[in-house]
């Protein structure tokens, strides 16, 4: 990235001089690197500011372009907030949105998806890997269902690209959102894959110079896309090793905590998941208190985008987690640079503080005395 912040500072869209040509060549190389990671044609990659913009482009772009014939969209209740908010915004424009529920394990019911289609459904949007509980949806099956009905399929793959194998053709994906910083690239850049055959048409979100094939006007930030491209290339080379190693670390974390601490619940399906995202609920412990106690460890109580909120996670509520358990949840992120020593340190501190906080809890004391809390009728004074 550094040379394109200093020496090669040309505008990649300026084709009348060498400075522009150098930047354009770097931009197109990055486009190929992104495309190679997901089995796409480089011409199908559009650079954006990140997955939030890509999700907005996919939902609003498809909905508005086909609005004269199609006014219905299908998504799920556990999507990222930017997808849900985009859908709610489209509802104010007269579109109808079906929000599919998920099962207790976080997966959608494919029969419910099939039943949700309407004659004017234009788009189905289901994320690949959930950003809070790590659950991996059956993307192959969803793609097949959508293709059979000639309905476009979009997936928010910000938490999946570069971490698990993704092939847009094999999975029948028509639009895919990609984030750079989820795979150790620079923040502030991402991409959207837009299928050329069969062609997907989008109404652009912003007007301007018509860059990125007229879909995303504005000068492409060469240093950032170079960083994204390099991150994609590294991810492709390291994916198999990373996944195996992260799986082992996640298993180590979960096994050690659950063997030492009773009443811990792992949220989401145990099998269909990306191992680097572990969400645990520690009954009879306030999640925020545990976070404060573990302030020297980078953890969160939900999505990093909404973790400042004291409301329980809408994802956990969608999978049927009761409010107390939802408030006691902690999300552990394990990545390429996480070490075994860091996992062991986190486990040790976690066990120590959970036990300490429970000793301060009157509810935990009642449970230890054999009292069934659900049988108690609580009253307010």
The CATH number assigned to the domain holding 350 equals 3.90.1150.10
The C-alpha atoms of residue 244 and residue 336 are separated, in whole angstroms, by 10
Is 158 within the bounds of a domain?
Answer: yes
| Domain boundary residue, one of 215, 235, 255 | 235
Is 381 within the bounds of a domain?
Answer: no
Is 380 within the bounds of a domain?
Answer: no
DSSP letters spanning 125-140: E--SB-TTT-BB--HH
Residues 224 and 246 in one domain: no
Residues 199 and 260 in one domain: no
Helix (H, G, I), strand (E, B) or coil at 361: coil
Residues 153 and 127 in one domain: yes
Peptide bond into 175 cis (omega under 30): no
Question: Active site residue: 82, 146, 232, 305, which one?
Answer: 305
| Domain boundary residue, one of 217, 235, 253 | 235
241, burial (CB in 10 Å: exposed 0-12, middle 13-18, buried 19+): exposed
Any catalytic annotation for residue 82? no
The total number of structural domains that make up the chain: 2
Closest CA to 47 of 16, 14, 12, 17: 12
Q: How many residues does the chain have?
A: 381
Residues 179 and 243 in one domain: no
Residues 224 and 245 in one domain: no
Is 99 within the bounds of a domain?
Answer: yes
Residues 224 and 175 in one domain: yes
pLDDT score recorded for residue 324: 87
| Domain boundary residue, one of 216, 235, 254 | 235
Structural domain that includes position 176 = 1-235
Residues 225 and 321 in one domain: no
Residues 352 and 228 in one domain: no
Contact, 220 vs 45, CB < 8 A? no
The C-alpha atoms of residue 23 and residue 226 are separated, in whole angstroms, by 10
Is 379 within the bounds of a domain?
Answer: no
A 10 A CB-CB count for 33 gives 22
366, burial (CB in 10 Å: exposed 0-12, middle 13-18, buried 19+): middle
Q: What is the pTM of this model?
A: 0.94
Is 70 within the bounds of a domain?
Answer: yes
User: Would you give per-residue pLDDT tens digits along the chain (381 residues)?
Assistant: 999 999 999 999 998 999 999 999 999 999 999 999 999 999 999 999 999 999 999 999 999 999 999 999 999 999 999 999 999 999 999 999 999 999 999 999 999 999 999 999 999 999 999 999 999 999 999 999 999 999 999 999 999 999 999 999 999 999 999 999 999 999 999 999 999 999 999 999 999 999 999 999 999 999 999 999 999 999 999 999 999 999 999 999 999 999 999 999 999 999 999 999 999 999 999 899 999 999 999 998 864 444 455 678 999 999 999 998 999 999 999 999 999 999 999 999 999 999 999 988 767 767 776 677 666 766 665
Is 377 within the bounds of a domain?
Answer: no
Is 43 within the bounds of a domain?
Answer: yes
Closest CA to 33 of 227, 239, 195: 227
């Amino acid at each position: 990235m550094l040379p394109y912040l200093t020496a090669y500072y040309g505008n990649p869209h300026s084709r009348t001089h060498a400075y522009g040509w150098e930047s354009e060549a770097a931009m197109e190389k990055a486009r190929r690197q992104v495309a190679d990671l997901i089995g796409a044609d480089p011409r199908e990659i559009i650079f954006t500011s990140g997955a939030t913009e890509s999700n907005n482009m996919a939902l609003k772009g498809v909905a508005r372009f086909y609005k004269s014939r199609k006014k219905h969209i299908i998504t799920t209740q556990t999507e990222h907030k930017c997808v849900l908010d985009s859908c709610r915004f489209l509802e104010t424009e007269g579109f109808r949105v079906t929000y599919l529920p998920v099962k207790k394990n976080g997966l959608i019911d494919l029969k419910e998806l099939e039943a949700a289609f309407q004659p004017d459904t234009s788009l189905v949007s289901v994320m690949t890997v959930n950003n809070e509980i790590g659950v991996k949806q059956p993307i192959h099956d969803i793609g097949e269902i959508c293709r059979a009905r000639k309905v476009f399929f979009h997936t928010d793959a910000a938490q999946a690209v570069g971490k698990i194998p993704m092939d847009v053709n094999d999975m029948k994906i028509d639009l895919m959102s990609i984030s750079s910083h989820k795979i150790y690239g620079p923040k502030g850049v991402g991409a959207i894959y837009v299928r050329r055959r069969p062609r997907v048409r989008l109404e652009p979100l912003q007007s301007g110079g018509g860059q990125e094939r007229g879909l995303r006007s504005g000068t492409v930030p060469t240093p950032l896309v170079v960083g994204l491209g390099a991150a994609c290339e590294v991810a492709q080379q390291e994916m198999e090793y990373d996944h195996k190693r992260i799986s082992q670390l996640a298993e180590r974390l979960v096994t050690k905590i659950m063997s030492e601490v009773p009443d811990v619940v792992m949220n989401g399906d145990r099998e269909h998941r990306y191992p680097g995202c572990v969400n645990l609920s520690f009954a009879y412990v306030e999640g925020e208190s545990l976070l404060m106690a573990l302030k020297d460890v980078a953890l969160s109580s939900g999505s990093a985008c909404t973790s400042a909120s004291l409301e329980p996670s809408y994802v956990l509520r969608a999978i049927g987690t009761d409010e107390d358990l939802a408030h006691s949840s902690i999300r552990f992120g394990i990545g390429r640079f996480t070490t075994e020593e860091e996992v062991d340190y986190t486990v040790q501190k976690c066990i120590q503080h959970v036990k300490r906080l429970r000793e301060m809890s009157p509810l935990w004391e009642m449970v230890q005395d054999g009292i069934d809390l659900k049988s108690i009728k609580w009253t307010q004074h």
